[in-house]
Structures are given as C-alpha cells and as structure tokens.
Chain A
C-alpha cells in the first residue's frame, strides 16, 4: 500500500491566491481527477514529475514554490 510522502506542497495556498480555484478546476487544468489533486494536497500521493510541472505551470510559479522536500 502507498505510504505518505515526505514531500510537502503549497497547492492549497496557491489555489486560494488564484481566485480560490477549486480542486476540480485545478484537476481539469492539469488533466487528473479531483481525487488525485486532493491526495497530492494532503501529502498522500507524490505526483509524477510531469504532473508536478503541470501544476506549477497552472499557477505560473517555479516547481520548488509548489513542492518542497525536507533537507533539500
């Protein structure tokens, strides 16, 4: 079974500052399901590099502003 990832993210905050974008809207823009965005936000799922870049592109910010890894 999957284990929680050590990668943290600021998606919730970025969505809030993007006119309170919904998880469904972000999911549609990225091309994944809303459940996947929810799992990523909660740190339960680490997305592929491609999806990570797509999320960053939606918010027009660098990747490391969306995802952070401790000790990195």
Chain B
C-alpha cells in the first residue's frame, strides 16, 4: 500500500468517524427539540479532522520515510481526478437538497448542515472511489 493510499484511507476513516459523530449528535439534538446552529461543535469537528490528519501523516511518514518522499505519478493523478469527479457529483446532489430546503423555508441551521453534509459526503465518496481504484489497479 503506497503512502498516498494510506493517506487516503486515514482521511476517509477520520472523516467518517468525526463527522459521523457530529451528525449523530445533531440527530439526537433534533429528536430532543429545535436545533440551533452550534459553531463550537462544528469548529471542534473541523479541528479534530485537521489534528488527526496532521498527526496521522507525521506518524505514517515516521514509519516509512522513503514512501512519504515519493511524488505522485500519472496513475495517482488519474485516480485522484476520477475520485474528485465522483465526489463532485455527490456534492452537487446535496447542494440541490440544500437549495430545496432553503426554497421550502426550512431554518438556516438545516440548510447550513445540508451544505456541510454535502461537503463531507462528497469527500467520503471521493475517498471511497480512490480507495477502490487503488485496490483494483
């Protein structure tokens, strides 16, 4: 498994765990009553993702310094491009959903979280696509 593949797996796992927890909390709040935009919770999730990303990459590079120094080649770029295109399509679907919520007059908190869910889902879709592409060749 190349450094890029490990990096993708790390960020995919972190994204699923951190934002899965964020949206899980949001769902529980919604069951308890009206939900308010919680910038602190969002900032904590974003900070956790950045921290896990940096710490994880440092750890991976420390264990395999030669791999970490490898640049990307044409296959890496092809896989990245295909993954980005797939993630972009998922993001577009969520953007349409957010637009629909806005048109229907839903509170800003739901529209904002729908956009955030789109960004997260787009990145997860890209990560899964890249993971599969690396495994398939």
Contact = CB atoms under 8 A, between A and B. Distances in A.
A35 B136 contact: no
Contact of B137 (A4, A31, A34, A51): A4
Given A1-B129, A35-B2, A44 B74 contact: no
Contacts of A4: 137
Nearest to B72: A33
B74 A2 contact: no
Contacts of A1: 82, 129, 132-133, 136
Contacts, number: 42
Interface residues of A, number: 16
Contact of A32 (B5, B73, B129, B132): B73
Interface of B is mostly: helix
Contacts of B79: 2
Contacts of B2: 33-35
B75 interface: yes
Interface residues of B, number: 17
A34 B4 CA distance: 12
Nearest to A31: B73
Contacts of A62: none
A42 interface: yes
A55 B79 CA distance: 21
B75 A32 contact: yes
A4 B137 CA distance: 8
Contacts of B134: 35
Interface of B: 2, 5, 70, 72-76, 78-79, 82, 129, 132-134, 136-137
29 contacts: A1-B82, A1-B129, A1-B132, A1-B133, A2-B78, A2-B136, A4-B137, A32-B73, A32-B74, A32-B75, A33-B2, A33-B70, A33-B72, A33-B73, A33-B75, A33-B76, A34-B2, A35-B2, A35-B5, A35-B75, A36-B73, A36-B74, A36-B75, A39-B75, A42-B137, A44-B136, A44-B137, A45-B137, A47-B75
